[in-house]
Amino acid sequence: MKRLVAVAVVALGLTAGLAACGGGDKSGSGGESTTSAEATEEATVSADDDNPAADPADADDGNPAAGSYDCSDASQIQGEITVWVDETRITALQPAADLFCAEQGVKVNLIQKVFDDLRKDFASQVAAGSGPDITVGANDWLGEFKTNGLVAPIDLSGVADQLSPAALGAFSSEGQAYGVPYGTENIALVRNNALISETKATTFDELIEEGKAVGQKYSVIIPMGDAGDAYHMYPIQSSFGAEVFETDAEGDYTDTLAMGGEAGHKFAEYLAKLGQEGVVKSTITGDILGQAFTAGEVPYVITGPWNTSTWVASGMDISVLPIPSAGGEPAAPFMGVQGFYLSAKAANAFDAETFLVDYLTRADVQLELYKLGGRMPANLEALADPSITDDPVAKGFAEAAGDAQVQPSIPAMNQVWSPWGLTEVAIADGKVTDPAAAWDEMITNIETAIAENAG
C-alpha cells in the first residue's frame, strides 16, 4: 500500500511537470499563469505604449480595428496564424508578417517548406484536419484543392478593384475566389548581351541559326529534365496552334483536349528536330541551363523571372525578349499566377482571412514580393510603380506575355502534366521513331485518365 502511494505521488508530480512544459494549447490567449516578472513588464509596456488592447471603435471602414502591439512581448500576442512559404518568399513576407503582428497583435508563423512539397503536404495535412492556415501556391492547384474541399472561399469583393482581373480570375472558380493572387509570371527569351547584342530572328529556326553563329557550346536552351517540362515547351507548342484545352464561350477551359490532331503532330515533329539540334534534352535541366547561361556558354535561354532577378543582381547584362514563333502563330506562354490559399480547416480563420484580404493584397507587400521574386504584382497600384515600369527586364517579360494564356486550374490539368512532359522527353531524346504516333498515344492516354478521374 505504502509503495502504491509512493508511485502515485511521484507520478502525479511528474505529470504536473510535463503538463506545465507542454501547456502551449490554444485555449487561452494570455494565459492565467502570469508570473510576477511578466506582470510588471506588461505594466510598464502598457504605461508608455498607450493601451495595447485597442478599442474596437471605427468599425465602419470595413477593417477590424488596428491597434499597436509590441510583438516581442509574448503577453501582448492575441493569437497566431501559420503560413507555409518556400525559401524564395519567406524573406519577402517577413515585413508583412511583422506589420500584421504590430497592428493586429497576431503572430504570423512563417514556415519554410520546399515548393515541390507544398502541394501534396497541404493536401494530405488539411484533409486530416491539420496543416497551416494559409499556404502560398500556384493557381493551377485550385482544381485539386477545390474538388477535395481543402480551401475555403474568400470574400475579395472589397479589394477586387485593386487587383488585376486576370490574376483574380485565375484564383476563382464559378464566381468565387479561393485565393489571393500576388504575382503573375510568364517565361520569355533571355539573351546574354555579352555574347550577342542584337536579335534579328523572327522565327525559332532563325534564332537557332543566330545562336549557332555565336559559336558557343549551345545555341538556345529550353530546360527539360527527366520528367519533361511541358511548361517551358508550351510557347513552342502554342505557336503551332496546339493549345492544351478547348475553351468555352466565356473563355473558361473545358475538359476537352485541344492539342491533338494536325497541329499537335507538327509540333511533335518539330520537337524531335529540336532534340537533334541539342536545344532540348532530358539531361538539360533548369540547373544546367543556369550554369550554362552564367558561364557564357549559351546566348539564348527560355526561362522566367525567378532566374533573371538573380542574374541581374549578379551584374550580368541581359535582355528579355518575346519568344519567336516556331509554327507561324504567336508563341504564347502560360501565365502562371502565384498567390495564397486559405485552408478550409484553418485553426484561426478570422485572423488568417484578415491577413489575406487586408494585408497580402496591399501594394507595398506585393512590391516587396516582386523585388525578391521578380513576379509582376497582381496589385494594380504596385504594377504601376516606377520600379517596375522603368525596369527593362520587367518590361521585357510583359511584352513576351503578349497573349499569354492563363495556366489551366481545372482538375483535369492534373492528368495532363506528367504524360505530357514524359512524352516530350521521349520525342526530344529520340526514343520514339514516330513523333506523331507518340503524340497520339499521349492524347489517348490523357483522355482516358481524365475520363476515369471524372467518373
Partner 1 sequence: MSELPLKPRTQKSRKAATMAVAGGWGPGFIVKLILMALIDAIGIFGVIQAWRAGSTTILVVAIILLLVVNYVYFARRAIPGKYLVPGMVFLLIFQVYVMLYTAYVSITNYGDQHMGSKDAAITAIQSQHTAVAPDKDPYAIVVLQKGTDYYLATVVDGEAEYGTSDQPLEALDGATITDGKITAVDGYDIVKPDRDNWDTLQTLAVPLSDDASQGFLMTERNGTQAKVYLPTVRYDKAADTFTDTETGLVYHDGGKGQFVDDAGKKMPGSVGWRAVIGFANYKTIFADTKMMVPLLKVLVWTICFAFLSVATTFFLGLILALVFNSPRIKGQKIYRTLMILPYAFPGFMTALLWKAMLNRDYGVINKWIFFGAEIDWLGNPWLARLSIILVNLWLGYPYMFLVCTGSLQSIPSEMMESARVDGAPPLRQFRSITLPLLFIAVAPLLISSFAFNFNNFNLIFMLTGGGPLPGTGSDTKIPGATDILISEVYRLAGVDLGTPDYGLATALSILIFVLVGAIAAFSFRQTRKLEEMA
Helix (H, G, I), strand (E, B) or coil at 107: strand
The answer to the question of residue 436 lying near partner 1 (CB under 8 A) is no
- What distance in Å separates the CA atoms of residue 12 and residue 52, rounded to the nearest whole number? 39
Q: How far is the CB of 391 from partner 1 (least distance, A)?
A: 34
> Which part of the chain contacts partner 1 (CB under 8 A), choosing from 37-45, 59-67, 162-170, 369-377?
59-67
- What distance in Å separates the CA atoms of residue 156 and residue 231, rounded to the nearest whole number? 29
Using DSSP bridges, classify how beta strands 106-112 and 79-85 pair: parallel, antiparallel or unpaired. parallel
The answer to the question of residue 213 lying near partner 1 (CB under 8 A) is no
- What distance in Å separates the CA atoms of residue 53 and residue 259, rounded to the nearest whole number? 59
The answer to the question of residue 288 lying near partner 1 (CB under 8 A) is yes
The answer to the question of residue 387 lying near partner 1 (CB under 8 A) is no
Interface of this chain with partner 1, residues 132 to 191, rule: CB under 8 A: 141, 144, 146-150, 152-153, 155, 157, 174-176
- What distance in Å separates the CA atoms of residue 320 and residue 302, rounded to the nearest whole number? 10
Between 185 and 351, whose beta carbon lies closer to partner 1? 351
Between 63 and 68, whose beta carbon lies closer to partner 1? 63
* Residues 290, 275 contacting (CB under 8 angstroms): no
The answer to the question of residue 123 lying near partner 1 (CB under 8 A) is yes
* Alpha helix stretches (DSSP H) within 192-319: 204-214, 230-238, 261-277, 286-294, 305-313
Kindly tell me which residue out of 12, 74, 213, 384 binds partner 1, with binding defined by CB under 8 A: 12
Phi, psi for residue 127 in degrees, rounded to 5: -60, -35
The answer to the question of residue 6 lying near partner 1 (CB under 8 A) is yes
Between 143 and 373, whose beta carbon lies closer to partner 1? 143
* Residues 282, 225 contacting (CB under 8 angstroms): yes
Q: How far is the CB of 73 from partner 1 (least distance, A)?
A: 19
Interface of this chain with partner 1, residues 93 to 122, rule: CB under 8 A: 106, 119-120
**Site residue total, partner 1 (CB under 8 A):** 84
> Which part of the chain contacts partner 1 (CB under 8 A), choosing from 245-253, 365-373, 400-408, 437-445?
437-445
> Which part of the chain contacts partner 1 (CB under 8 A), choosing from 12-20, 161-169, 217-225, 311-319?
12-20
What is the b/e burial string over 184-217, where b = at least 16 CB atoms within 10 angstroms of the residue's CB? bbbbbbbbbeebbeebebeebbebbebbeebebe
Cell output for 200: 534579328
Between 385 and 429, whose beta carbon lies closer to partner 1? 429
Between 82 and 415, whose beta carbon lies closer to partner 1? 415
Between 16 and 384, whose beta carbon lies closer to partner 1? 16
> Which part of the chain contacts partner 1 (CB under 8 A), choosing from 7-15, 318-326, 361-369, 381-389?
7-15
* Residues 336, 232 contacting (CB under 8 angstroms): no
Interface of this chain with partner 1, residues 392 to 431, rule: CB under 8 A: 414-415, 417-420, 422-423, 425-427, 429, 431
In Å, how far from its chain's centre is CA 140? 9
Interface of this chain with partner 1, residues 18 to 37, rule: CB under 8 A: 18-19, 22, 25, 29
* Residues 184, 335 contacting (CB under 8 angstroms): yes
Q: Which residue has the cell 495535412?
A: 125
Q: Which residues pair with 82 in a beta bridge?
A: 109
Q: How far is the CB of 70 from partner 1 (least distance, A)?
A: 19
Interface of this chain with partner 1, residues 340 to 369, rule: CB under 8 A: 344-345, 348-351, 353-354, 357
Q: How far is the CB of 445 from partner 1 (least distance, A)?
A: 5
Interface of this chain with partner 1, residues 257 to 286, rule: CB under 8 A: 281-283
Cell output for 73: 512581448
Kindly tell me which residue out of 46, 63, 75, 294 binds partner 1, with binding defined by CB under 8 A: 63
- What distance in Å separates the CA atoms of residue 242 and residue 258, rounded to the nearest whole number? 6
The answer to the question of residue 214 lying near partner 1 (CB under 8 A) is no
Q: Which residues pair with 320 in a beta bridge?
A: 190
The answer to the question of residue 432 lying near partner 1 (CB under 8 A) is yes
Q: How far is the CB of 438 from partner 1 (least distance, A)?
A: 5
In Å, how far from its chain's centre is CA 422? 23
- What distance in Å separates the CA atoms of residue 372 and residue 92, rounded to the nearest whole number? 6
Q: How far is the CB of 274 from partner 1 (least distance, A)?
A: 16
Q: How far is the CB of 18 from partner 1 (least distance, A)?
A: 4
Strand intervals (E) in 86-177: 106-112, 134-138, 172-173, 176-177
Between 325 and 415, whose beta carbon lies closer to partner 1? 415
Interface of this chain with partner 1, residues 216 to 245, rule: CB under 8 A: 226
Residues, the chain, total? 455
Between 364 and 429, whose beta carbon lies closer to partner 1? 429
Cell output for 117: 512539397
